[in-house]
Structure 1
Amino acid sequence: MATNQKFSNGFRVNRTMLGTGVVLAGIGTVLSLAGTAIACATLASAGRDYVNRMETPPSEQARRAMQQAKAASMAGLEAWRTEGRTASAN
């Protein structure tokens, strides 16, 4: 009964099997984390390569989109103001 521990209600635990299960779960966790790290590094590398091969960098695309949004906003505001003036003149 060296490897079994008996509790008061008769529940017996095989400590060797329990220890083996804990060790295997730990090994599985380490392998899973290693696989996740490798997959993340691969995806990050692919993303960097994709961005480096772009004709226009994302920062330039964002700057252009912001300029277009500002211009559209100003055009809409001007149209609203113009419409307000013509409506009040009638």
Structure 2
Amino acid sequence: MAINQKIFNGLQVNRSLLAGGVVLTGIGSVLGAAGAALVCAALFTAGRDWVRSMETAPTTLAQRALHEAKVASSAGWEAWRAEHGSPN
């Protein structure tokens, strides 16, 4: 039996191989996190530039859509009341 191996209930673990795997996994995790951060930064910048280049601000578009939805809902409600003869 080699010095870097230990027997634990019949399981022999090569400690140097295990340590190397842990180190490589850690390095890969750090590189993966750095890559994900770069992708997020690029997408955030592109989205921000796209919003800035719009003719109408997104808040204005949302307010307009909400107003149109309210008008359509009110018109639908009035049509339903007229059809069913409800005084409410």
| Structure 2 equivalent of residue 80 of structure 1 | 80
Q: Across the two proteins, how many residue pairs are aligned to each other?
A: 85
1:58-69 matches, within 5 Å, as 58-69=58-69
| Structure 2 equivalent of residue 31 of structure 1 | 31
SS in 2 for 1:82: helix
CA distance in 2, matches of 1:22, 1:76: 64
Shift of 1:8: 4.2
Report % sequence identity: 52
1:8-47 matches, within 5 Å, as 8-9=9-10, 11-47=11-47
> Amino acid of the residue matched to residue 52 of structure 1?
R
1:80/1:8 Cα in 2 relative to 1: closer, same or farther (>3 Å)?
Answer: closer
TM superposition score normalised by structure 2: 0.88
Gaps in structure 1 of 5+ consecutive residues? none
Shift of 1:12: 1.8
Gaps in structure 2 of 5+ consecutive residues? none
TM superposition score normalised by structure 1: 0.86
Is it true that 1:3 corresponds to 2:4 in the alignment?
yes
CA distance in 1, matches of 2:9, 2:49: 63
